[in-house]
Structure 1
């Protein structure tokens, strides 16, 4: 019978690309990972890895095995949920990943509700780059996580990860009140000649700004690159440029800043390992998060 732990290593290799990355993520040595994969190869009786320069790549048989592994791990998550439901009450740690604006606007109220309903549950919060969420969930570093994408930058599904919609928020263009842009131009193109403040390269917020401007017929002239929205709003107030800002980031907006809604939205979801939706702790945290969505946001069904 194939060992699930070795199957998990093969699945991780398919997602992370290198044995070194798998070893780092799972706190193992590269030689230990290689040895376990070699044992798995002997157990299956077929080649699973082949050399490509200095890297190893999965063979077609290995890719088939990974697809079956996703199903196996999904069923194991479901089995674990059934066992937890057989016990009385919820207790122990549950690890929640989040992005900064949700950590401020949604998570605190959810933690208060959880403490009242399930005092034995120990939520453990970590801010994490959304790009790392799928790997962190699959590796067991997190139990669930708040994630987001923009309707102009949809995120493709990740193997082994399920996402439940939570809420939808409007996106605004933030500009200093004495920076009218081109009054005769409608929509986002009104600010085509202004300097822009956008997020760091490779982030979904950066790509969303670039896509929205592209749809409006121009490429933004980038002056500053900042991720933290409070700093972005302070720079806008200082006349340093204009920026796109989602609703959850609109806390203590400086008086000098004017906001105009755009036909762009950011969607927040609760992500967890496939098969874990009915795990009592995951379900309890998800329910508390749903109840903590600010009332002026559109709640997802």
Structure 2
């Protein structure tokens, strides 16, 4: 009989790529991970890993077993959710991840709703970039999270993770002069900024990738001067004449008077993410309902 805990380690190795990364994520030592994977290979009766020096890759049999592991872990998550629903209503710790603008604009109102409807829940919020959410959910560090995607940066399907739509918002070009119109239906307005310095988020984030790809779609590579993740700081730098930037609607709060905003045909969509099979868990269902009730009226309903 295959041990589900060892199947989880194999699944994480398939997604994270190294034994050290699996050990860090799941609070094991690398030697313990290696030992458990060795036991799994003996249980399976066929080689699951191919070791070359320090690198480890999955054999075809290992990859096939990971696909089965995904299905098994989803069913176990669903069973856990059904048992929780049978035992009691939403109660206990609930670990929520969210990106900064959602943490400010949506999460506080959702927590207030949650406190009224389900006072036995103990929500704990952590800010996290959407790119790191799938790993955190699979590792059990989070129960639910808000993620986003842009028109130019669609989110790839993450194994073991399910998402549901929450809301959408538009994106603006922020500049320190009024040379642009207040709205546009195409990206030609970006091309007029091809010689301007640009302010983007830090590399590796979806916001950074969105800016680069939008500029490329307009026919140029942006000349990046500053890399800032906080949109309030981005707008302050724009007002100081340090460059132009693309800012989603939720990132625009009391912008400086010197900042001019041009609405663009670029949208950002926010989704609710959780482990596959967990949608009916009372706590996950409760925070999902609260988040939907907390979406500001000026955002695009999904």
CA contact (8 A) 1:198 1:227 kept: yes
Which residue of 2 is the match for residue 131 of structure 1? Answer: 131
Structure 1 position 110 matched with structure 2 position 113: no
4+ runs deviating over 3 angstroms: none
Structure 1 residue runs without a partner (length 5+): none
Structure 1 position 84 matched with structure 2 position 122: no
CA offset digits 1:146-204 (Å, max 9, x no partner): 001111111210110111111110000011135x269xx94222222221111111211
CA RMSD of aligned residues (A): 1.5
Which residue of 2 is the match for residue 56 of structure 1? Answer: 56
The total of aligned residue pairs comes to: 298
Matches within 5 A, 1:228-243: 228-243=230-245
Which residue of 1 is the match for residue 100 of structure 2? Answer: 100
CA contact (8 A) 1:181 1:194 kept: no
Taking the aligned partners of 1:154 and 1:52, their CA distance within structure 2 comes to: 34
- Partner SS state of residue 191, structure 1: coil
Taking the aligned partners of 2:12 and 2:238, their CA distance within structure 1 comes to: 42
CA contact (8 A) 2:180 2:262 kept: no
Which residue of 2 is the match for residue 291 of structure 1? Answer: 293
Which residue of 2 is the match for residue 153 of structure 1? Answer: 153
CA offset digits 1:45-85 (Å, max 9, x no partner): 11111112311111111111100010001101111111111
- Partner SS state of residue 111, structure 2: helix
Q: Check 1:24–1:61 CA distance in 2 against 1; reply closer, same or farther (3 A cut).
A: same
Structure 1 position 6 matched with structure 2 position 10: no
Taking the aligned partners of 2:50 and 2:197, their CA distance within structure 1 comes to: 50
Which residue of 1 is the match for residue 35 of structure 2? Answer: 35
Which residue of 1 is the match for residue 271 of structure 2? Answer: 269
Taking the aligned partners of 1:221 and 1:21, their CA distance within structure 2 comes to: 34
CA contact (8 A) 1:181 1:191 kept: no
Which residue of 1 is the match for residue 22 of structure 2? Answer: 22
Taking the aligned partners of 1:220 and 1:12, their CA distance within structure 2 comes to: 36
CA contact (8 A) 2:51 2:57 kept: yes
CA contact (8 A) 2:188 2:218 kept: no
Which residue of 2 is the match for residue 187 of structure 1? Answer: 189
Offset of residue 111 of structure 1: 0.2
Structure 2 residue runs without a partner (length 5+): 182-186
Which residue of 2 is the match for residue 144 of structure 1? Answer: 144
CA contact (8 A) 1:177 1:257 kept: yes
Taking the aligned partners of 1:87 and 1:71, their CA distance within structure 2 comes to: 25
Which residue of 2 is the match for residue 215 of structure 1? Answer: 217
Taking the aligned partners of 1:170 and 1:207, their CA distance within structure 2 comes to: 16
Which residue of 1 is the match for residue 184 of structure 2? Answer: none
Taking the aligned partners of 2:213 and 2:261, their CA distance within structure 1 comes to: 19
